[in-house]
């Protein structure tokens, strides 16, 4: 990648970008589906359902390939999933290779950093803390922090405001078309990780400013030193 960036802040998606959380999500899904008397899902199916927040994940778990379900069944599934994910969050999730190496390098450059995710906010800080990532983050914007969630641009704009950085001085790093669309709508450049979750769509087909195979590839692309 030849393009360089000069951000004052870098905002990261969480699932599929900083951390591989499918094992914990899949375990919560198995417990939820068993509790509701539904057939199980594979880890690969769960991975393809991730990206638009827990309510959408639960809806997909219950309906994709199985037909519609009534609203009260969705509500029952959501309550069950949240209960089980509270127990499984952080048990098997790991930071991707390169993340723990790259974040100190970005911090040393004086960059503000934050997580902008569609995961419910209550699950984000505990997970980051368990993985040793929380101390690097100046702001967390979850899927229920605001009335809007990605791909609406407001979560990114809110993150900029919280860290005191102009919108044009921020960079988004994600793993999906949802992240790319959010950044485009917000007017931010966006880089996508090649290893994450993109709902079964090849990430190199998305409208972004570049692809990264490891987060350690990011610091050399930044010129604000």
Kindly list the structural domains of the chain, giving each domain's residue range(s) and its CATH number in brackets, ordered by start: 9-20+93-221 (3.40.50.1000), 22-88 (1.10.150)
pLDDT of residue 200: 85
**Is 204 labeled as ligand-binding?**
no
- What is the arithmetic mean of pLDDT over 95-112? 97
Q: Out of 13, 24, 179, 209, which one is annotated catalytic?
A: 13
Residue 224 has pLDDT above 80, yes or no: no
Identify which of 224, 178, 217 has the alpha carbon closest to the alpha carbon of residue 200. Answer: 178
160 vs 168: CA distance, rounded Å: 9
pLDDT of residue 78: 97
pLDDT of residue 199: 86
Percent of the chain with pLDDT over 70: 98
**Is 209 labeled as ligand-binding?**
no
**Is 175 labeled as ligand-binding?**
yes
86 carries an active-site annotation: no
Residues 6+ away with beta carbon under 8 Å from 192: 173, 174, 175, 176, 179, 180, 203, 206, 208, 210, 211, 212
């Amino acid at each position: 990648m030849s393009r360089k960036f000069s951000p004052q802040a870098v905002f990261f998606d969480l699932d599929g970008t900083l951390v591989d959380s499918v094992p914990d999500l899949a375990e919560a899904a198995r417990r939820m589906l068993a509790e509701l008397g539904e057939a199980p899902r594979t880890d690969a199916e769960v991975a393809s359902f991730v990206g638009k927040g827990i309510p959408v994940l639960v809806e997909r778990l219950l309906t994709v390939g199985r037909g519609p379900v009534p609203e009260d069944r969705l509500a029952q599934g959501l309550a069950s999933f949240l209960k089980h994910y509270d127990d499984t969050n952080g048990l098997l999730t790991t930071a991707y290779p390169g993340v723990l190496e790259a974040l100190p390098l970005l911090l040393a450059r004086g960059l503000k950093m934050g997580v902008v995710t569609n995961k419910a906010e209550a699950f984000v800080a505990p997970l980051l803390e368990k993985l040793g990532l929380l101390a690097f983050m100046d702001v967390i914007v979850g899927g229920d922090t605001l009335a809007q969630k990605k791909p609406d641009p407001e979560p990114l704009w809110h993150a900029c405001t919280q860290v005191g950085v102009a919108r044009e001085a921020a960079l988004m790093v994600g793993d999906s078309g949802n992240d790319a669309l959010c950044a485009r709508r917000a007017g931010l450049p966006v880089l996508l990780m090649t290893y994450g979750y993109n709902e079964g769509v090849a990430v190199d087909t998305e409208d972004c400013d570049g692809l990264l195979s490891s987060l350690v590839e990011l610091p050399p692309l930044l010129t604000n030193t």
